[in-house]
Structure 1
Amino acid sequence: MWLMLFIVSIMWTTNKCYAGESPESIRNEQGLMMKSFMNESINPCDNFYKYACGNWAKHQTFEKTNKSFGIFGVLTRQVNKFIDDFILFNNHTSATSEETQKILESSEVKKVQRYFSICRQQKKLKREPYIETWNVPGGWPVLNSSWSDQTFDWINITGQLKLIGGESLIDVHVGPHYENATRNTIYIFPAAFPLFQPSLFEENLIVKQIVAKMISLVIGSFGLDELKLNKTVSDVLSFETKLASVYLKDEEDEGEYDRLEDMTLEALQEIFPDIDFHRLLTIVSGQEISKSQMVTLSNGWYFENLMDLLNETKSEDLANFFLYRFGLQIGVLQPVDNYCRNEVIKHMGFFLGYIYNTAFNNERDNEDVRKLAQSIKSVFAEIIQKTDWIDSDTKAEASIKLDNLLLKVGASEDSLRFSEIKEEFSLIDFDPNDYYRSYFKLLAFSVQKPFRTLNKSNDRSDTNHNAATVRAFYSLTKNHLVIPTNVLQKPVYNFYFPNSVKYGALGYILGHEVTHSVDGNGRTYDSEGTIRQWWTEKSEEEYLNRTSCLTAQYANYTPNFLNASANSIGASTVNENIADNGGIRQSFQAYKAWFAKHPDEQETLPHLNLTNTQLFFLSFAQFYCQVTKPGSSLVSTLTDEHASGKNRVIGTLSNFEEFSKEFNCPVGSKMNPAKKCRVW
């Protein structure tokens, strides 16, 4: 009980820390916590994940809506508790700072509270109210026996789905221009394929079975008879399978649109006369888009193949496909309070995160983390210069990119000002008495928000992220690394943790994100966030040779019945695996350099019979302790761009010689295989 209270409970004080904490008590609690998660009966050389995390599940409560619950889940609970207590349920007291108190009493907070309130009061765990309010002209064939395709308009429905964040056939969004990241462009892409990679539809029957089950659950929630349900599921699955094949470009199909290409909207319309892009952009943007507007097209061959598919598809089947994708997008199964809170966090996080930052930003912590991040960045620069498989030209470009990489730690000085928040909030047009109408208005606000930046210049220092979401990230187009305030909390970070623990968890995160600057995606962007080929052909070839080792290694972690898909899964997670393996090496090297200069520092923790360097690796591994919901691991394996927590620990450490030295793992043991993979 004491452990859960320690992790989850938040005792707010005016100096923004835990009541009564001291350096000694913090280290004592951290040592007890880390020890409680371990299963010390496991040989660390056999399975370090089980050794580090074997008892994690015993100390966690698991919400039914979660697929898995790890350290980020702990941090998210802490943020959610603040949002619940201080914003949504209006339980804040004079214990908060004067500045925070002023914001909590603002009309903007009252607007958030009103939306949350009507959501809790009116939301039903059914899809019908959403369908009724969405009110697409003509309705849906599976729900209307007199449905006619005369009013069916696939362009309109595609746009309306995009307005609620759904994916269907075509994606449009505003982002930094690929050749000049200081300005924006409208991108027109194939819509992201939900749940699974398109290639898996051909490779594995299990994927089709899972998708069929998903379609059945969504469509079946409308109360169809068994015969009609089975036919609809079969028709929608057939279309999904054909759509997946549209994404798979034939080697012979080397069309002139197989790249990013700028053109006017009018010129685009001439190339694809059967797709009304102008009307689609008008729907999604919420404003009239000039036909002379420059847009950026990606993968033109996809749109050619898409029209072939649509021309051979019955309108009824296409409409039912859209209804399925709509049902997939709206969340109706979560407990109402959780769902409603998640909605305000997702769409109003720029404001909720601002309040959280105001309450918890600590410049002492920010400066501590900046120093840690700078040490890791410097180590990575050294590693690149010493790497013998990339040539001098590529090294020079990589050095420029690292030199220009911006570190954004905590609530940075260029965060949104409250005046900007108020201006942004004035654009949200809620219906204060109707949740469902407000829901669609809020989602449209989020989707249309980037279009207001179309003609504005970009500054690399602007983060503009959802500060209420717990995540650290690297931005390709801005070449900056963001570590928000909500990550700089226990149990991941505390100013008084020994550096062995700081570098093992937070330092590894920093190294992981820095490595993304030169992974499979990062190496296609230069120091200014522009897409440019700055790797030489020789360095490129050597890079691919090394990544193939990681692809094969992580493919071996997939279940036996997924062998046909193993290579695809290994390839889909390879960028994250590169970042994991590079991040742990950078952080360990940076920590060793720091400790060499501070040998008298107390770098162990009470209750743990481990050296400082062993503690480093334990801190890393426990960052990935997870409780996984039964039945969800298969979907996660097939859809996540990350390997599982277990495989991230085992895969990363089994490639790292320094880990084996610290725990005396003999060559040939499971955690110290003779063959190791390394990129950086």
Structure 2
Amino acid sequence: MPSFNPGHTSRAPDKECTVPQWILAALALCLPCVLMLLFVFVVLPLLEKDPVRKAVCDTRDCVLHANALRSAKSQAAAKACEDIGLLVCSTWANRHRGLAWAVVPHVVMDWIVNIEDAVATARHESDVMKRPMRLVHSCLNRQGNDKDAVMSLIHFVHNKSFAWPTEEEVSESLGYSRALVALIELAVRWALPLWFRIDLLPSRAARNRTLTVKPSAIPIIWEILHGELLSNQDVYPSYLYLFHEEFFVYRTPTPAYQEFLVESAVIQSHVLGNLSHANRASIFVPTSMELEKLPSLIPQLKADDWVIAVQSAFNVSPPIEIHDVLLATNGEILAAVSTLFDAYDARSIVYHTSWWFLQMVGIFASNQLFNYASVYKLGAQFQKIVCAIHIEATDYLLLAAVSQAKFASEQRRSIKRYLEHVHSTAVEKVRTSSKIRSSVKGALLSMLQRTTAVTWPEDAFVFGKNPSNIYTNYVSSFNDSNIFSWWRSLREALQPSVGSEQHAVVNKLPRLDTRTVTWYDPVLEVMSISFAALVPPLYYKSGTSAMLYGGLGYIYAREVVQAVNFLTMLLDDGGDTNRPSEGAIVMTLGNNVSCPDVAPSAVELMFPSLPALEIAYAAYVTYRDEENDLPLKGLEKYTAEQIFFLTFCLMACEVELSGRQSAPLCNSAVKNFEPFAKAFSCRPGSNMNPEVKCRFFEV
């Protein structure tokens, strides 16, 4: 038996156990391919099913917003540190040049030119809810003979304060008081606020009511049309001739009125120019006083003139008296009235008021005049503007209800939450600010906390058996064949509710205005947000937090800041309302800014954009949905925080006189906001990151 040898076995002699080189090479090549296939077919599908782990937001809304910011796509993010306004706005698609000069007016014009889609309702909706759709269709699709409508309008003006004068009708004294009566009657009784809107609202004032004077959207729109008419010296005479053929052959004006019409383009330019300038003020300075003191602002009118005109329009009990309070939310309107009354005699003002009324309503009533507008560059858009102005004036509750029906309940609650987040953030900013006078801070906070955001009517108005009692009187009497007859009947049916509490509730709703989509009413204590604002790029139903707070959130924050400024000017040191002086205005702005070595004009440019940006950004950081606040597909190189600032800047895009698109308000705000510089890593001293910065609230 052989001896045991630990190094030896009974196997065959050892052969070296090796793997052929070609197999190793094949494995080396195949393994990465196998891993890649596993990643593509196993890992990626799992990631796609897990939205939390997605790298970008690729919803339709996110892609749409990325397209709105497409100018930033081809630029390096560092360009934002040089001129973010130019980066964002250079390719902004302004489809309404000549009518919209900035993003917010552009959004409103989008709603108007697409009004047929905006008012479309589902088949199951009630007849009342369908009425705006029916009115719009009748207004835009003129058919048949309009003789009945023209004659109805001519009979309607008989003995009205705004009628054009004839030899048969002996005119009363044509003083400035007559002009005031006509303007207030048109605004209150006939929902046609030519110079201004005026409402009588329940309030905390001594007589439990306050007269409010607010800007009207009509002057700015009509100034654009008037500019079109004057663009060719032959157009205005032809325009006058058409009115002669349609109306004056049936109701012949006096020779003096005919002479006035020949030269009316001049006074019309001045009236529209002064009122539009007042309405475009970047900061509204309120004026509050008893009617007794109004002659100090408009010396051409006595206090009794106001009492008579207002009581005649509202017909309230107890009647209006000189101690009733009038609050002008924009004191520049009263200044414009005084300027125009000082520049023209009373007869010219009265004559122009009747002429402006006839243009506004005559173009609406006459098919020939309505179709005449279409020959101009902005004609098709102008026709829709005319229809929108007249229909919205009486049916704004129904328009809001139609908009409300297009949003699911959860979407409406979501919008409300976003606005509440911004509002509560603003209240906290005011509470902790050391820049606001302590003597008024308590009253200011109290008013802000009572203020609520309103976009749509209460559900009871819309989903009850009757959408609103104020709309049930004339649904059955709607007349398609005579467009002026329903213009008149809609307004006559609303007149009994004027000045009532029900009217005040409806008055909380937003109104159509090409200048803005938000309004603050200190009497009703509401912030109204137009339903026209709930569209891209201001709002997206499935947008990221950056998109929502940088868009609609900022727009709302801007109105809150305007309200803070408004109330600070309006409240005296005891927390009561007073008439602010020029000193109060300077004090308000000065007390809310810490801005060394910066010119006052530069400070004014920052307001209200900078404090609104501070509020919107703070709300964004506090309340954003971090898991879904992702970069956008198509703009992957920008972080979610950078998307917030790009969106904010898009809200400020405007067209300069040269035609260049920029955002000076955005640039002015972000260069004084440290989080922007950090988000884009702007080097100190760069254009958008100066060494010295201004603040309105403590960061």
- What is the CA deviation profile of residues 168-187 of structure 1, one whole-angstrom value per residue up to 9, with x for unaligned ones? 78975312336269x43456
Distance 2:503 2:185 in 1: 28
Alignment of 1:323-338 (within 5 A): 323-326=354-357, 329=360, 333=373, 334-335=379-380, 336-337=383-384
- Partner of 2:406, secondary structure, is helix
Secondary structure, aligned partner of 1:174: strand
Residue in 1 aligned with 2:651? 623
Name the CA distance, whole Å, in 1 between partners of 2:647 and 2:274.
44
What is the CA distance between 1:481 and its match in structure 2? 3.4
Q: Mean Cα displacement is larger for which, 227-236 or 351-360?
A: 227-236
Give a deviation string over 1:540-561, Cα, whole Å, max 9, x none: 83644557979x97957xxxxx
1:82-133 Cα offsets, whole Å, 9 max, x none, are x624856xxx6xxx5xxxx3325x2663586157426632699999989746
**Residues 555 and 148 of structure 1, relative CA distance in 2, 3 Å threshold:** farther
Distance in 2 between residues matched to 1:193 and 1:374, nearest whole Å = 28
Matching of residue 67 in structure 1 with residue 96 in structure 2: no
* Equivalent in the alignment of 2:157: 135
Matched position secondary structure for 2:199: strand
The alignment status of 1:658 with 2:675, answered yes or no, reads yes
Q: Structure 1 residues 73, 452: closer, same or farther in 2, change over 3 A? A: same
Instruction: Report the counterpart of residue 497 of structure 1 in structure 2.
Output: 543
Inter-partner Cα distance in structure 2 for 1:133 and 1:392: 59
1:68-83 aligned at under 5 Å gives the runs 68=101, 70=103, 73-74=106-107, 77=110, 81=114
Match of 2:631 among 604, 616, 634: 604
Aligned equivalents of 2:623, 2:214: Cα separation in 1: 47
Higher Rg of the two aligned structures: 2
The amino acid that maps onto 2:241 is G
Contact 1:175–1:184, Cα closer than 8 Å, also in 2:
yes
Q: Say if 2:209 is the partner of 1:184.
A: yes
Task: State the aligned residue count.
Answer: 573
**Equivalent residue letter for 2:396:** G
Counterparts of 1:95-106 in structure 2, within 5 Å, are 96=122, 101-104=123-126, 106=127
- What is the CA distance between 1:151 and its match in structure 2? 5.3
Corresponding position: 1:84 with 2:116: yes
Structure 1 residue 117 corresponds to structure 2 residue 149: no
Q: Which structure 1 segments of 5+ residues have no match?
A: 1-21, 197-206, 248-257, 265-270, 557-569, 634-643
Rounded Cα–Cα distance in structure 1 between residues aligned with 2:349 and 2:232:
14
Gap change, CA 1:25 and 1:600, over 3 Å in 2: closer
Question: Are residues 670 and 139 of structure 1, via their aligned partners in 2, closer, same or farther at CA, if it must alter by over 3 Å?
Answer: same
In the alignment, residue 47 of structure 1 is paired with which amino acid?
A: D
Partner of 1:433: 481
Deviation for aligned residue 1:506: 2.5
1:592 aligns with 2:618: no
- Mapped contact 2:164–2:355 kept (Cα < 8 A): no
Out of 380, 383, 387, the position equivalent to 2:433 is 387
CA shift at 1:584, angstroms?
Answer: 1.1
Q: Distance in 1 between matches of 2:513 and 2:301?
A: 41
TM-score by length of 1: 0.64
Q: Match of 2:59?
A: 25
In structure 1, C-alpha distance between the alignment counterparts of 2:161 and 2:108, rounded to whole Å: 42
Residue 175 of structure 1 aligns to a residue whose secondary structure is strand
Moved more, 501-510 or 326-335: 326-335
- Could you tell me which residue of structure 1 aligns to residue 40 of structure 2? none
Distance 2:594 2:355 in 1: 37
- Give the 3-state SS of the residue equivalent to 1:55 in structure 2: coil
AA matched with 2:486:
S
CA contact (8 A) 1:141 1:147 kept: no
Q: 1:273-292 to 2 correspondence within 5 Å?
A: 280-281=309-310, 284-285=313-314, 287=315, 291=319
Distance 1:133 1:211, change over 3 A: farther
**Match 2:500 to one of 423, 430, 453:** 453
- Alpha-carbon distance between aligned partners in 2 of 1:431 and 1:405, rounded to the nearest angstrom: 40
For 1:541-552, what aligned pairs fall within 5 Å after superposition?
541=587, 543-544=589-590, 546=592
Map of 1:3 onto structure 2: none
Aligned equivalent of 1:353, options 400, 406, 415: 400
Structure 1 distance, partners of 2:273, 2:585, is 38
**8 Å contact from structure 1 (residues 476, 525) kept in 2:** no
- For 1:393 and 1:317, how far apart are their aligned partners in 2? 47
3-state SS of paired residue (1:493): coil
Note the 1:432-581 alignment, pairs <5 A: 432-442=480-490, 448=495, 451-453=498-500, 463-466=508-511, 471-483=517-529, 487-494=533-540, 496-521=542-567, 524=570, 531=577, 541=587, 543-544=589-590, 546=592, 578-581=607-610
Name the CA distance, whole Å, in 2 between partners of 1:468 and 1:243: 18
CA distance in structure 1 between the aligned counterparts of 2:140 and 2:676, rounded to whole angstroms: 50
Mapped pair 1:321 → 2:389 = no
Paired with 2:232 and 2:308, the residues of 1 have a C-alpha distance of 29
Assess, with a 3 A threshold, how the Cα gap between structure 1 residues 475 and 524 changes in structure 2: closer, same or farther: same
TM-superposed deviation, 1:354: 0.9
Name the CA shift for 1:40/1:236 in 2 (closer, same or farther; >3 Å).
same
Is 1:648 matched up with 2:681?
no
The alpha-carbon distance between structure 1 residues 423 and 379, as it changes in their structure 2 partners (threshold 3 A), is closer
Aligned-residue offset at 1:611: 1.8
CA contact (8 A) 2:682 2:688 kept: yes
Cα distance in 1 for partners of 2:214, 2:104 equals 34
Query: Per the alignment, do residues 484 and 192 of structure 1 end up closer, same or farther by CA in structure 2, a change over 3 Å counting?
Result: closer
State percent identity of aligned pairs. 14
Amino acid of the structure 1 residue aligned with 2:404: N
**1:281 CA drift (Å):** 4.0
Per-residue CA shift, 1:427-453, capped at 9, x if unaligned?
A: 44755432234334445666x476241
The aligned amino acid for 2:60 is: I
- Distance in 2 of aligned mates of 1:24 and 1:239: 51
Q: How far off its partner does 1:402 sit?
A: 4.2
Note the C-alpha offset of 1:618: 0.8
Residue 49 of structure 1, CA deviation: 1.7
In structure 1, what is the Cα distance between the partners aligned to 2:241 and 2:600? 42
- In the alignment, is residue 44 of structure 1 matched against residue 74 of structure 2? no
Inter-partner Cα distance in structure 2 for 1:152 and 1:346: 31
The residue type paired with residue 622 of structure 1 is L
Report the equivalent of 1:565. Answer: none
Which SS does the other structure have where 1:320 is aligned? helix
Instruction: Give the whole-Å Cα distance in 2 for the aligned partners of 1:541 and 1:141.
Output: 46
Give CA-to-partner distance per residue, 1:640-672, whole Å, 9 cap, x none.
Answer: xxxx97233223223322222322334554434
Q: Distance in 2 between matches of 1:311 and 1:71?
A: 34
In structure 1, C-alpha distance between the alignment counterparts of 2:70 and 2:326, rounded to whole Å: 51
Cα distance between partner residues in 2 of 1:220 and 1:626: 34
Equivalent pair of 2:594/2:695 in contact (CA under 8 Å) = no
Rounded to whole Å, the distance in 1 between the matches of 2:261 and 2:347 is 15
Where does the alignment leave 5 or more consecutive residues of structure 2 unmatched?
A: 1-55, 245-257, 279-286, 294-299, 364-369, 374-378
For 1:588 and 1:138, locate their aligned partners in 2 and report how far apart those are by CA, in whole Å: 53
Q: Deviations over 1:602-622 (max 9, x none)?
A: 522222111222111012122
- The CA distance in 1 between the partners of 2:580 and 2:326, in whole Å, is 21
- 1:357 Cα deviation after fit: 0.9
What is the distance in 2 between the residues matched to 1:26 and 1:376?
25
Q: Which moved more, 1:106-115 or 1:298-307?
A: 298-307
CA deviation digits over 1:10-37, x for unaligned, max 9?
A: xxxxxxxxxxxx9743365246424424
Q: What is the alpha-carbon distance in structure 2 between the residues aligned to residue 422 and residue 376 of structure 1?
A: 31
CA contact under 8 A between 1:49 and 1:621: conserved in structure 2? yes
Report if the CA contact (8 A) 1:511-1:584 is conserved.
yes
Contact 2:509 2:528 in 1 (8 A): no
Task: Look up the match of 2:91.
Answer: 55
With over 3 angstroms needed to count, the CA separation of the structure-2 counterparts of 1:501 and 1:223, relative to structure 1, is same
